Structure 1
Amino acid sequence: MVSVSDAQAIILNLVQPLDCQRDIEAVDLLTADSRILAVPVTSPLDFPHWDNSAMDGYAVRYEDVQHSSAEQPTVLEIVEDIPAGYQPKSTIQPGEAARIFTGAVIPAGADTVVMQEKTRREENRVYILAAPKLKEFVRHKASFYQAGTQLLPAGIKLNASEIAVLAAAQCPQLSVYRRPRVAIFSTGDELVSIEQALQPGQIVDSNQYALAALVKESGAEPLLLGIVKDDPVSLEKVIAHAVAIADIVLSSGGVSVGDYDYVEKILQSLSAKIHIRSVEMRPGKPLTVATFPITQSPVP
């Protein structure tokens, strides 16, 4: 009998990674949520794509405004309005400024943005009421990410934030690992499906549904093989089939010491190597974990 922590460690050590060549598939970005990235992603785009403003305010030359104060404001001529998505037409000359909005492209000649709250506008002139820092509120091209370098590494799970980054990088299709296939079946003459009417002594096979939900939640693909009667021939046939089609096989029932618990004997007859027979916990003490020599699929 092994402890719960030791059993967990044994099972995790038995797990074999998917093959980085055979087990990859291409998926669209909208279907990539919760998948595991198989190939590192790069982008031909810089982030940001261009120098842009991080604030609503005025694009200026730092040299012009470095000594500004409320008592002695710098007065600049506004030569252009630059909203987001607009390509600036002007080059900012000494004594000039451009009205700029968050996300908009910094015009040529400007190197600093003065936030709106530290200015006062009168017609086509702006009064700079406080000295900014050099390059303040300017997000520089490629300061977050440089084109051609690794954007996301292989092996990470793609969640909402990663999906957003990939969309911004214009990556419509990705290479991800296929979902591990997990075969699930339950054993016991007393079990019935949820559609069947209960007879005396019978119980509904709820374990199969719970296991399927947990498998989906973990990102794998459940393969439901139904209920198998307490018959050695039937059990051996189902287990052999499950091992052939799945990476992992989950069997609910049949591994205790009762007269109708056949699973362990069948595993041995199929040349499986048994790593765990029981775990030090209640309930759940009977737990068989085995691997097969060809597929090395753990079979709890």
Structure 2
Amino acid sequence: MTSTADAEAAANELTPLADYLGSVLRRLRPLPPLDLDLTQAYGNVLAQDVVAAHAYPAFDQAAIDGYAARWEDVAAASASLDGAPRASGVRLNVVGDLGAASWRPVRLTAGTCFSVAAGAPLPAAADVVVPVEWTDQGMAAVEIFQAPKRGYGLRRAGEELPAGTTLARAGTAINPALVAVFAATGIGHVVVRSSPRVVVVATGDELVDVGRASQPGQVVDANSHALTAAAVEAGAMAYRVGICDDDPEGLRGLLEDQTLRADIIVTTGGTGTGPGDMVRRILSRRDGAVTFQEVALYPGTTLGFGTVGGEEVPIVCLPGEPAAALIGFEVLARPAIQLLAGAEPVFRPSVRAHLLETVPSPAGLREFRPAHVAERRGGGYTVQPLPGGPYTMSGLADANGLLVLGEKVTTATAGSTVDVLLLDRRR
């Protein structure tokens, strides 16, 4: 029987995860920038800072429906304590109507006002918009029962975003609200990093396509579907090639073909040292272009990284066990995709959380365990490990976080504070 000391000695021979990730990510560079029309830019990462070409709002405008007036003309208006109209209201002549499409410049004179719609340009000299409900809603003349403060109900040109404002920095992912901000300030094109093209390949003679029941010697290919979805979630354009048998020539040919359309290739399966582990056997012989490393990671200690093809396309090789493949994707493939996309930061956000249940952890390995993290009333977070440990697909499916236990942790006790990666899945 292997002793605890023997297990720890074996773990000490593994490469620390942080060192391994650093060595991999230093070999990658963001993809070349691309000029895109604004309508196509959503989801991409900016390659350059974006500066407002025009002010927003572009002109002085009404923020509400009402009457645009001079404040000194309405200041004497008042209302009773219960809001009912009083005779002491101010009466102004309504000299015109202004809608959002009005364009002719107009000016107020003493004792006059304009009926305005939200978004309409303000007449010159107007410095207040009186809400409709504070008036008798007159058409030729209007009585105002309550005076708003000077500046109420209007927006000045450039009040929110003056021309020349930096709207977003390089490395920012473009979301729908940013698209609106860019459009409103005159930005029709943006320079972005291309969304990485990710090709996903599952390997193994035992694999069968989804829809067939597993028989002895057969395993349904869940990995290529899951990893393709994970790549899309990471912001990539993902292509599932499907199943590749453990045939050396077939694997070589497939990878060579895929380098023509891939910015990075992700394989799953065949990373071990067994007789059927063809990915490791074939790729590790290619002049050292792909290396397989025993990493202090649980689940799944063996990861591969390197380049393939004449274009030297990066390739990430993950284990074949589904949970280990998904964890491997999170810790290695996802940061690589984010780096290619120019995103900052490349790692998921993390929080410190109060552990609700005592859990064991293997010595010398950095464990990533499915968990549910929740905000505590009054601040902070709690984290509940999910049943079954790291190797359960059902746990990963239900998790909104990954509990991270360091190499020196053998038991994390309830009540201790631990690190949790936030998966940020929309529910």
How far, CA to CA, are the matches of 1:279 and 1:113 in structure 2? 66
8 Å CA contact 1:59, 1:98 repeated in 2: yes
8 Å CA contact 1:77, 1:126 repeated in 2: yes
Q: Which residue of 1 aligns with 2:33?
A: 24
* Greater alpha carbon shift after TM alignment, 64-73 vs 95-104: 64-73
Establish whether residue 299 from structure 1 lines up as the match of residue 316 from structure 2.
yes
Q: 1:285 aligns with which of 286, 300, 322?
A: 300
Offset of residue 272 of structure 1: 4.3
Q: 1:82 aligns with which of 77, 98, 103?
A: 98
Q: 2:149 aligns with which of 97, 108, 133?
A: 133
How far, CA to CA, are the matches of 1:120 and 1:83 in structure 2? 20
Alignment of 1:258-273 (within 5 A): 258-270=274-286, 271-272=288-289
8 Å CA contact 2:66, 2:132 repeated in 1: yes
How far, CA to CA, are the matches of 2:126 and 2:140 in structure 1? 18
* Greater alpha carbon shift after TM alignment, 290-299 vs 249-258: 290-299
8 Å CA contact 1:112, 1:134 repeated in 2: yes
Q: Output the aligned Cα RMSD.
A: 3.3
Establish whether residue 201 from structure 1 lines up as the match of residue 211 from structure 2.
no
How far, CA to CA, are the matches of 1:226 and 1:215 in structure 2? 15
Identity %: 32
Unaligned runs of 5+ in 1: none
Offset of residue 177 of structure 1: 1.1
How far, CA to CA, are the matches of 2:200 and 2:296 in structure 1? 21
Q: Which secondary structure state, in structure 2, belongs to the residue aligned with residue 113 of structure 1?
A: strand
8 Å CA contact 1:247, 1:295 repeated in 2: no
Q: 2:115 aligns with which of 99, 115, 139?
A: 99
Alignment of 1:38-49 (within 5 A): 38-49=47-58
Alignment of 1:171-250 (within 5 A): 171-194=187-210, 201-232=217-248, 234-235=250-251, 246-250=262-266
How far, CA to CA, are the matches of 2:48 and 2:142 in structure 1? 51
Q: Which secondary structure state, in structure 2, belongs to the residue aligned with residue 11 of structure 1?
A: helix
Q: Which secondary structure state, in structure 1, belongs to the residue aligned with residue 30 of structure 2?
A: coil
Unaligned runs of 5+ in 2: 1-10, 80-85, 318-427
Establish whether residue 149 from structure 1 lines up as the match of residue 165 from structure 2.
yes
Q: Which residue of 1 aligns with 2:330?
A: none
Offset of residue 279 of structure 1: 5.0
* Greater alpha carbon shift after TM alignment, 80-89 vs 90-99: 80-89
Offset of residue 288 of structure 1: 1.0
Q: 1:14 aligns with which of 18, 24, 29?
A: 24
* Greater alpha carbon shift after TM alignment, 211-220 vs 235-244: 235-244
8 Å CA contact 2:271, 2:292 repeated in 1: no
* CA shift digits 1:148-188 (9 cap, x unpaired): 33333322212221222233344443322112232322221
8 Å CA contact 1:82, 1:88 repeated in 2: no
Counterpart amino acid of residue 166 in structure 2: Q
Offset of residue 36 of structure 1: 1.5
Offset of residue 238 of structure 1: 5.0
How far, CA to CA, are the matches of 1:188 and 1:7 in structure 2? 26
Counterpart amino acid of residue 210 in structure 1: A
Q: 1:50 aligns with which of 44, 47, 59?
A: 59
How far, CA to CA, are the matches of 1:122 and 1:227 in structure 2? 74
Q: 1:61 aligns with which of 70, 88, 106?
A: 70
Offset of residue 80 of structure 1: 1.3
Q: Which secondary structure state, in structure 2, belongs to the residue aligned with residue 299 of structure 1?
A: strand
Q: Which residue of 1 aligns with 2:383?
A: none
Q: Which residue of 1 aligns with 2:182?
A: 166
Determine which structure has greater relative contact order: mean sequence separation of CA pairs < 8 Å that are 6+ residues apart, divided by chain length: 1
What TM-score does the superposition give when structure 2 sets the normalisation length? 0.59
Q: Which residue of 1 aligns with 2:132?
A: 116
* CA shift digits 1:57-93 (9 cap, x unpaired): 1111112222321352222111111122113553111
